[in-house]
């Protein structure tokens, strides 16, 4: 089993926050669950673009470990597992939306490639600075 050579050296709350919900995929999964509510793995996979099953599985495990999402397993055949935002996960959504709005001020138009979940952030209403 893999063991890190060095322990995490997080000395700032911002570093902790970026570790917990930062990165390309974690924020996307959080936004999908915020918009869609409770989803099975296949539902999350369908909403994501260009993510492999291995990366999605790892991302879900990390979000579970950090307490941002909840996982509910049903004793059925075939087995059914559903994912949703935890209270901690719901509390990070306004932060992600603020980051999205800030980025919308500086990022050039993305055209049709914007995820549907981004529409809730109203990133285009902020207006570009210097435009």
* Number of CB atoms found within 10 A of residue 94's CB: 9
Q: Report the DSSP beta bridge partners of residue 73.
A: 81
**How many alpha carbons lie under 13 Å from residue 116 in its C-beta half-sphere?**
9
Report pLDDT digits (tens) over 15-56: 888 888 888 899 999 999 999 999 999 999 999 888 999 999
Please state the pTM of the whole predicted model. 0.78
In a domain, 5, yes or no: no
In a domain, 29, yes or no: yes
Domain count across the chain:
1
Report pLDDT digits (tens) over 51-109: 999 999 999 999 999 999 999 999 989 889 999 999 999 999 999 989 888 887 777 66
The sheet with strand 39-40 has its strands ordered as 39-40, 80-85, 69-74
Rg over CA atoms, the chain? 16
In a domain, 6, yes or no: no
In a domain, 129, yes or no: no
The CATH number for 55's domain is 1.10.10.10
In a domain, 7, yes or no: no
In a domain, 8, yes or no: no
In a domain, 40, yes or no: yes
pLDDT of residue 80: 93
Residue range of the domain that includes 110? 13-121
């Amino acid at each position: 089993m893999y063991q890190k050579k060095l322990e995490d050296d997080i000395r700032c709350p911002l570093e902790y926050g970026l570790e917990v919900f930062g990165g390309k995929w974690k924020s996307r999964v959080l936004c999908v669950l915020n918009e869609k509510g409770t989803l099975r793995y296949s539902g999350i996979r369908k909403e994501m673009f260009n993510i492999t099953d291995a990366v999605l599985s790892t991302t879900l495990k990390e979000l579970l470990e950090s307490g941002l999402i909840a996982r509910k397993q049903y004793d059925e055949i075939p087995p059914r597992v559903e994912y949703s935002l935890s209270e901690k996960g719901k509390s990070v959504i306004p932060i992600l939306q603020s980051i999205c709005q800030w980025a919308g001020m500086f990022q050039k138009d993305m055209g049709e490639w914007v995820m549907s979940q981004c529409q809730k952030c109203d990133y285009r209403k902020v207006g570009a600075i210097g435009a």
